[in-house]
Amino acid sequence: MGFRPFVYRLARQLGLAGRVRTDEAGVTSEAYGPASALDLLERRLPIERPAAARVETMRAEPIPPEPLAAFEIEESGAAAERRVAIPPDLATCGDCLRELRDPADRRHRYPFTNCTSCGPRFTIALGVPYDRPATTMAGFRMCPACAGEYADPADRRFHAQPNACPACGPRVELLDRAGAGIACPDPVARAAEALRSGAVVAVKGVGGYHLACDATSPEAVRTLRARKRREEKPLAVMVADLPAARALAELTPAEEALLDSVERPIVLCRRRPGAALAPEIAPGSPLVGLLLAYAPLHHLLLGDAGRPVVMTSGNLSEEPIAYLDEDARARLSGIADLFLCHDRPIASRCDDSVARVVAGRPLVMRRARGFVPRPVRVAPRLSRPVLAVGAQLKNACCLARGEEATLGPHVGDLDSLETYQAFEGAVARLEEFLAFRPEVVACDLHPLYLSTRYARERAAALSAPLVQVQHHHAHAAAAMAEHGLPGPVLALAWDGTGLGSDGTAWGGELLLAWRGRFERLATFRPLPLAGGDLAVRQPWRIALAALLDAFGEEAPVDRLPLFASVPAEELRVVRRMLAAGLHSPPAHGAGRAFDAAGALSLERAHSRFEGQVALALDAAFDPGEPEAYPFEIAAGAGGVEELDLRPLWRALCGDVLAGTSAGRVSARFHRALSRAGAELIRRACGRLGDLPVVLTGGCLQNARLAEGILGGLDGSLQVYLHGEVPPGDGGIALGQAVVADAVASGRSE
Ligand SMILES: [Zn+2]
Ligand SMILES: [Zn+2]
Ligand SMILES: [Zn+2]
């Protein structure tokens, strides 16, 4: 799709004869002509490829001459079509953008302009092969002009499945909150006007509905937050283009490239001081999530609005994003004043992806639109098809076969019927698209995750083995698979919480990992979580546990401002629970240490979403502070080393009592944790020799921590961060698949 016509045009331009086709191997081209022209073809192919195409390997070999008159595109067989199944959705290309803005073009201001280099793909696909009748464009009959483009191999729209124009394609319409159509000559211009005057507009996009409002207006943002019941989580902001992004954020070249990439993720950037953005967009954070317009409808809307626009998922807090028209109208009518809709159905829900630059390279934190369903190449290859269902939070599934692992779109936390149904739907759709029949089903060790229950049922129905994979081993294996590391590796998996093979909660692990097994080398000294998961939303409970661990009964609880905001009776009860070990399972999670440090230094007893206090601690960081808190590494039970943070808690507590700024406390804490991570790795290398190192787990989304650990390691070590596979639970299914394949094959290496 797009690549064959590109080869065709290039070969013709060079005066070559021959053919190009897709087959099991990928794209094969046989070209005949003078050696110099053949040489040019070989050199120009990878350089001038379409923006959306990736050339992974290329091989050239001489073939016997054939007397051909011209260069042609060969139709391909069904098997080949399936192999290059369905591409991800692609951001509007430069050529289409020019047409969109050209008053003389027949697609001037047409919101569904696309070509073989851009446009919707995965989100409009209904089945395979990916061909117009199997997309949601099937109901639109191409006009003669569009049909001509579609049939002409020399045209940019040759076999562009969603090809359309104002005469034959989808149309936008504007509805009021009751669903009644509003007659107007230009619904997009009218919606932009409404945005400028403070309205909340539901916009039907590529993979679902967004809720949009004026990002420069505090009042509009407050209204959106109140109606959506999303009180504090940061909101993404869409801008028209890179110059508009530069006006709002201080961007590095790597961040600009990521923003402008064909995947168009939301990119976490450093907000420019004084940027024209409502502070309510990301309260208390120096960062802002920006994304560039990626569909023609966005380009028109942003252009007409003439300002940055909040573009957040169309849902009530925690629900899956709305993508079906009736459902969206039902669920969003209490939030949006207007609906900017269209009649091109969305077949698959797909959120915006989220990424950031860490250590100079892109790191995907939420993998969805633009990436799904492009497979991740894994090495070594799997010996059988594995369905891996992920964990409970930030769920995404993975279907892995041979050298390719396809991660499903981000679904969210599996704690409601709606998200669970979205999860089931995502698995079923990918299985159908890939003609995938699992021979092994993989899931987490945790028996109560909905994904685990689903996996058990599926395995039984398929009579396939079920392999339960330890959470942090799966994180490690995801990083190994992404980087083609066969193992053994040292895997620093710092995370929130995952069930360990000893039945306790793990999360601050250093593992020696192979695909089929692992050894636990080091972990965090455990802290009791009073009230279990409740402690995640109430980080004061973890802070209290850390202080009691560090000081014993002498802990200066009464003098610390954090605890003044906790009701005295609650404090007494929790203290008693901790002393008696009641409902206080020990947890080794690294994430909890960040929560406790943030709670103590920022006087934040509660967290509205997981990791909120840790993010606030990160935001407070004072780069001018060079010191780090002390810590110890002790020999623990069973030869597992323990990172002992009691000295850190004592010093941090002293700082807070002495009135040291939160910025300095944050810096000393982050530097200590970075040093501890590097020190654990160095010690392991001292015992085992130098091994490749992977840094994984949800905490490694923290750029400061990841870069700090990297900086503390010897440059001669091979250290790998995640790239297009999320380090958090959104990438864990890939690791589950790889481990399950090794286990089911009886390989322990
Ligand atoms: Zn295009
Ligand atoms: Zn047309
Ligand atoms: Zn995890």
Q: What is the pLDDT of residue 54?
A: 72
CA distances (Å), origin 82, targets 26, 29, 121, 194: 11, 19, 14, 44
User: Do the Cβ atoms of 110 and 96 come closer than 8 Å?
Assistant: no
Q: What is the pLDDT of residue 80?
A: 46
**How many A from CA of 144 to the centre of ligand 3?**
53
Q: What are the residue ranges in the chain where pLDDT is below 70?
A: 1, 23-25, 52, 75-84
Burial class from Cβ neighbours inside 10 Å (0-12, 13-18, 19+) for residue 238 reads buried
- As given in the structure block, the two tokens for residue 652 are 């941090």
**How many A from CA of 264 to the centre of ligand 1?**
14
Which ligand is closest to the CA of 500, given by its number? 3
SS3 740: helix
Burial class from Cβ neighbours inside 10 Å (0-12, 13-18, 19+) for residue 553 reads exposed
Q: What is the pLDDT of residue 23?
A: 66
d(CA 302, CA 141): 29
User: Do the Cβ atoms of 60 and 39 come closer than 8 Å?
Assistant: no
Q: What is the pLDDT of residue 82?
A: 46
Which ligand is closest to the CA of 496, given by its number? 3
**How many A from CA of 160 to the centre of ligand 1?**
9
Which ligand is closest to the CA of 149, given by its number? 2
Q: What is the pLDDT of residue 658?
A: 97
Q: pTM of the prediction? A: 0.91
Q: What is the pLDDT of residue 318?
A: 78
b/e 481-515 (16+ beta carbons within 10 angstroms → b): bbbebebbbbbbbbbbbbbbeeeebbbbbbbbbbb
Element (H, E) at 29: strand 26-32
Ion ligand 3 nearby residues (CB, 5 A): 495, 498, 729
**How many A from CA of 409 to the centre of ligand 1?**
24
Which ligand is closest to the CA of 141, given by its number? 2
**How many A from CA of 320 to the centre of ligand 1?**
29
Q: What is the pLDDT of residue 77?
A: 57
**How many A from CA of 168 to the centre of ligand 2?**
4
Which ligand is closest to the CA of 508, given by its number? 3
Q: What is the pLDDT of residue 6?
A: 83
**How many A from CA of 281 to the centre of ligand 1?**
32
The residues, ordered by sequence, that sit 6+ positions from 533 with a Cβ below 8 Å of its Cβ are none
**How many A from CA of 630 to the centre of ligand 1?**
56
**How many A from CA of 649 to the centre of ligand 3?**
25
CA distances (Å), origin 101, targets 111, 188, 190: 11, 14, 18
Which ligand is closest to the CA of 160, given by its number? 1
Which ligand is closest to the CA of 295, given by its number? 1
**How many A from CA of 661 to the centre of ligand 1?**
52
Q: What is the pLDDT of residue 714?
A: 83
